[in-house]
Amino acid sequence: LVLAHRDIPFVCLAAHESKCRDGFPDTSNYDALPGIAGGLPLGFNKYGYYVTLVCKKLPGADLRVDMVRREISEAHVHYDVIDHGPVFSAKEARSDIIATKEIDEIGTLFLKSVVFHVGNQKARNKPIDERDFVLVALPWDMRVNESDLAGYIDVSRNKIERADREALFQLGFPLGGVSPFGIRHPRMRRILLDVDFQSWERVVFGSGSHLHSLCIPATSADHLFQTFERI
């Protein structure tokens, strides 16, 4: 992925906000050099300043999507797959879906799934299989109160931190594609649900890919989410 423009700030912004179909731009090996595209290697040619980005492909990305869909199918719940452009968040997915008019915004609950590390800084530096996590599923426009969450799961506030993009990547999810289903991490301590499905017609949530979302009838939601811990 090559980005070129005559304005350096534009290149820097575009580089850091780039979206790749099969993963996300890998900037982990770039030194944080102040003023030089935020640490990105910057070049210049007749087209202007440019940076070259390498995209990471999620390991087992197709398998993760299959696991999500299989778990829903095994619950005997019908789902529809809604395609959209690469997104970074449930908010972006919602905007794309509404813009395509594939489903009616009225009566549709858009869920987001937020993953948190649980543990001190030393614990968060351990390999991914040795870390503890908590997932919270809630409406796209709500925020998780981390102090309340810490109290609910009985840990101190400084032991709760939102999982970053790299952690999600290692868990098998792209940013913008986290699903509340298909999770097989051995130390996912709790999966919490903060929503009431009663007043909705349909529910949309992450599919395990940032290119699709899944939609189910709200009448099936209580059954599908029955193993989740309601808060």
- Residue 97 shares a structural domain with residue 148: yes
Q: Are residues 157 and 135 in the same domain?
A: yes
Same domain, residue pair 71 and 184: yes
Same domain, 39 and 123: no
Give the number of other CB atoms < 10 A from CB of residue 101: 8
- Whether residues 48 and 83 fall in one domain: no
Q: What is this structure's pTM?
A: 0.73
| DSSP tag of 158 | G
Residues 12 and 126 in one domain: no
Q: How much is the pLDDT for 29?
A: 39
Position 97 scores a pLDDT of: 92
Look at residues 57, 86, 103 and tell me which one is the last residue of a structural domain.
Answer: 57
**Are residues 67 and 28 located together in one domain of the fold?**
no
Query: What CATH number is attached to the domain comprising 126?
Result: 3.90.960.10
State the Cα–Cα distance between residues 26 and 29, nearest whole angstrom: 8
Tell me: do 114 and 176 sit in the same domain: yes
218 and 106 fall within a common domain? yes
Q: What is the pLDDT of residue 107?
A: 92
The per-residue pLDDT for 60 is 59
pLDDT at 100: 84
Residue 148: which domain range? 61-230
pLDDT value of residue 103 = 86
**Whether 105 and 148 share a structural domain:** yes
Rounded CA-CA distance 86/90 in Å is: 11
Listed as ranges, residues in the chain with pLDDT below 50 are 1-39
Contact between 164 and 136 (Cβ < 8 Å): no
Burial 33-50 (b: 16+ CB within 10 A, else e): eeeebbbbebeeeeeebb
Whether residue 42 is found in the same domain as residue 84: no
Query: Which pLDDT value is given to residue 73?
Result: 94
In terms of domains, do 34 and 128 share one? no
Of 114, 130, 123, 120, the closest CA to residue 191 belongs to 114
The b/e string for 162-186 (b: 16+ C-beta within 10 A; e otherwise) is ebeeebbbbbbbbbbbbbbbbbebe
pLDDT value for 50: 62
The model's pLDDT over 101-146, given as tens digits with 9 standing for 90+, comes to 878 889 999 999 999 999 877 777 777 778 889 999 999 999 999 9
Rg of the chain over Cα atoms, rounded to whole angstroms, equals 19
Number of domains in the chain: 2
Q: What is the largest CA-CA distance in the chain?
A: 59
